[in-house]
A and B are shown apart, each in its own frame.
Chain A
Amino acid sequence: MAENPHSLDDFDRRTPDWYVDRLMQSLVFIGGFSAIVFILGIFLFVAKEGLGFVTTDFDPVEFFTTEYWAPSDEDAPEFGILALIAGTAAVTGLAMLVAIPFALGAAIYIGEFATGKTREFLKVLVELLAAIPSVVWGFIGLSIMNPLIIAVFDVPVGLNVLNAGIILGLMAAPIMTSIAEDALKAVPDRYREAAEAMGATRWQVIVKVVLPAAKNGLLGAVLLGVGRGFGETMAVLMATGHSVNLPTSVFDSVRALTATIAAELGETAVGSEHYGALFTIGIFLFLITFVINMTADLIVRGVRKG
């Protein structure tokens, strides 16, 4: 045994590589784990701050079904978020009407028609559009859309559902395009080839084969756009007009759930009823976006498996 240069002791020898490997494993683990901890922490913080209100002065019927939001009234503060929900829903709904045709059209063009350099260029452009900060979109809403709407429709105020809906639609379209294009790309090319070989035109291939095969991914793209709409704050704050209102037309100014928190939280006393009510809105928003994103994610995953 002594003659063998590779004695059994070598099996226990730890090289620097071994330590580096161990270190990196631990670091990556801590990184991944802390993300979960932070998210849970945020949720617990929001829940704790809102819970004080929910357990004491909270009347769910009043909270969700009345439209009077007057939290700083000293005699009889009112906490009804129906108008805020309606504002957010109206803006998001209109935004989807704007975004879906654009996003779907762009995704079909990029995924099915454009080739080579055009395609790469458009993809980069879409990514670039998705990176425009929301305050810039808000600024466009204030300074371009506002006078435009006043001039075109002859209405007194241009900061309204229409303005915010268009701005938010244009904001959500790039990310929706990107996801929808992924969904189209996930459709195996042999389906297209099969349909073309049977004599289908390109349009027939898209309508009869590609879109049905990609429908889950496309639905996921739309849901993520809806989630984006619900969560968007700055652009909506700037373009809606920010007045509590149950909208009856697209020319009504409204106020969104998110914008309410952003505008009011800095001016409330920590721990007050108003403060708690804002955090309750936060919990509500959190739950909605969580459910929407979760649904979208499950649907998109379903595509990959199926």
Chain B
Amino acid sequence: MSKSPQSAVDFAIHTRALNLWYGSFQALFDVNLDIKQGMITSLIGPSGCGKSTFLRSVNRINERLGYARIEGAIEVMKRNVYDPEVELIQVRKQVGMVFQRPNPLPISIRDNILFGHRLHSKSKGDEDDIVEEALRKVLLWDKVKDRLKDKATGLSLEEQQKLCIARLLPVKPSVLLMDEPCSALDPKGTEAVEELIWELRGEYTILIVTHNMAQARRASEECIFMLMGKVIEHSATEEMFVTPAQAETADYIEGRYG
């Protein structure tokens, strides 16, 4: 893969001088990042370092709060998502998100999978095929194929989180944002979801926030370390964990704070 910044297709997310304030509190300082397409990039750093804030500004879900203000730009697939001409709906279609706590809607498994699809595509398509394909992709099909009409909220947490990933796939996003997707799961569930995320790489650009450094190490290809709203280091995961370039990174990885 070429690393030259001119070959634009290689970068799924590109930010320029991104600053973000919650009211008068500045949460992000001049974030400049190039996140490679088709890779799993993890965001690590101590609580309050801005990693979730950054993640949540890529699909503009931060705007729900009403008091977040942003300067600079985030380009997803070459389009600045903060361009006034860009429609929010299209951003959300292009950029899927998985939350910390699995949040399937209180409707059937099948309707959950089709929720996004029905919002974005006017033609019905073959809904049965769409459901099956999405559920097969997240390895849930065999488990739930006989109870697609059951409420999704009755599934185990691990299954719920897989479903939350599966329901993003039918609208064919290019980027998946994951905000500590395993933190509500037990070790077995964590392993299963991590494996699933690993399977999805290549096809989707995945940006994953994690508190768990071991998870970042085993489940991502590139790693970004943030501290106090600033990006300290961005390199290949192996490199960061073996030979961190910055002293702060080394201290954090070795557990001296955070």
* A-to-B contact residues, CB < 8 Å: 115, 190-191, 193-201, 204, 208-209, 212-213
Contact of A199 among B64, B101, B107, B116 (CB under 8 A): B116
Q: How far is the CB of A303 from chain B (nearest CB, A)?
A: 11
Interface residues on B, range: 20 to 34
Q: Which 10 A-B pairs have the closest CB atoms?
A: A199-B92, A198-B116, A190-B103, A194-B103, A197-B97, A199-B89, A199-B93, A213-B106, A199-B119, A197-B61
Q: How far is the CB of B97 from chain A (nearest CB, A)?
A: 4
Other than the given A194-B103, A197-B99, A199-B171, 19 more pairs (CB < 8 A) read: A115-B66, A190-B101, A193-B61, A193-B64, A194-B99, A196-B61, A196-B92, A197-B92, A197-B97, A198-B92, A198-B119, A198-B167, A198-B171, A199-B88, A199-B92, A199-B119, A209-B105, A212-B106, A213-B105
Please name the residue on chain A nearest to B90 by beta carbon. Answer: A199
Interface string of B63-77 (1 = CB under 8 A from A): 010100000000000
Task: Judge if B96 is at the interface, Cβ distance under 8 Å.
Answer: yes
Q: Could you list 7 examples of A-B contacts with CB < 8 Å?
A: A194-B105, A194-B164, A195-B105, A197-B96, A198-B92, A198-B119, A200-B115
Cβ of A201: which chain B residues have Cβ within 8 Å of it? 89
CB within 8 Å for A212 and B107 given contacts A197-B92, A198-B115, A201-B89: yes
Cβ of A196: which chain B residues have Cβ within 8 Å of it? 61, 64, 92
Cβ of A204: which chain B residues have Cβ within 8 Å of it? 119
Task: Judge if B249 is at the interface, Cβ distance under 8 Å.
Answer: no
CB within 8 Å for A191 and B106 given contacts A198-B115, A199-B116: yes
Contact of A191 among B59, B105, B119 (CB under 8 A): B105
Task: Judge if B40 is at the interface, Cβ distance under 8 Å.
Answer: no
Please name the residue on chain B nearest to A199 by beta carbon. Answer: B92
A171 to B104 CA separation, bound complex (whole angstroms):
39
* B-to-A contact residues, CB < 8 Å: 59, 61, 64, 66, 88-90, 92-93, 96-97, 99, 101, 103-107, 115-116, 119-120, 164, 167-168, 171
Q: How far is the CB of B153 from chain A (nearest CB, A)?
A: 9
Is there an interface contact between B99 and A193, defined as CB atoms closer than 8 Å? yes
State the main secondary structure of chain A at its contact with B.
helix
A197 to B97 CA separation, bound complex (whole angstroms):
6
A262 to B167 CA separation, bound complex (whole angstroms):
60
Q: How far is the CB of B79 from chain A (nearest CB, A)?
A: 15
A213 to B151 CA separation, bound complex (whole angstroms):
12
CB within 8 Å for A200 and B106 given contacts A115-B66, A193-B99: no
Q: How far is the CB of A35 from chain B (nearest CB, A)?
A: 36
CB within 8 Å for A200 and B59 given contacts A194-B99, A194-B105: no
A190 to B101 CA separation, bound complex (whole angstroms):
9
Q: How far is the CB of A233 from chain B (nearest CB, A)?
A: 40
A195 to B64 CA separation, bound complex (whole angstroms):
12
Residue in A191, A194, A200 whose Cβ sees the most chain B Cβ within 10 Å: A194
A198 to B170 CA separation, bound complex (whole angstroms):
11
A194 to B90 CA separation, bound complex (whole angstroms):
16
Cβ of A193: which chain B residues have Cβ within 8 Å of it? 61, 64, 99, 103
Cβ of B171: which chain A residues have Cβ within 8 Å of it? 198-199
Please name the residue on chain B nearest to A212 by beta carbon. Answer: B107
Q: How far is the CB of B91 from chain A (nearest CB, A)?
A: 8
Q: How far is the CB of B26 from chain A (nearest CB, A)?
A: 23
Cβ of B115: which chain A residues have Cβ within 8 Å of it? 195, 198, 200, 208
A201 to B92 CA separation, bound complex (whole angstroms):
10
A213 to B104 CA separation, bound complex (whole angstroms):
12
Please name the residue on chain A nearest to B115 by beta carbon. Answer: A198
Contact of B96 among A198, A200, A213 (CB under 8 A): A198
Please name the residue on chain B nearest to A204 by beta carbon. Answer: B119
A204 to B97 CA separation, bound complex (whole angstroms):
18
Is there an interface contact between B59 and A197, defined as CB atoms closer than 8 Å? yes
Cβ of B101: which chain A residues have Cβ within 8 Å of it? 190
A198 to B171 CA separation, bound complex (whole angstroms):
9
Cβ of B105: which chain A residues have Cβ within 8 Å of it? 191, 194-195, 209, 213
A60 to B66 CA separation, bound complex (whole angstroms):
62
Cβ of A208: which chain B residues have Cβ within 8 Å of it? 115
Cβ of A213: which chain B residues have Cβ within 8 Å of it? 105-106
CB within 8 Å for A191 and B92 given contacts A196-B64, A197-B97: no
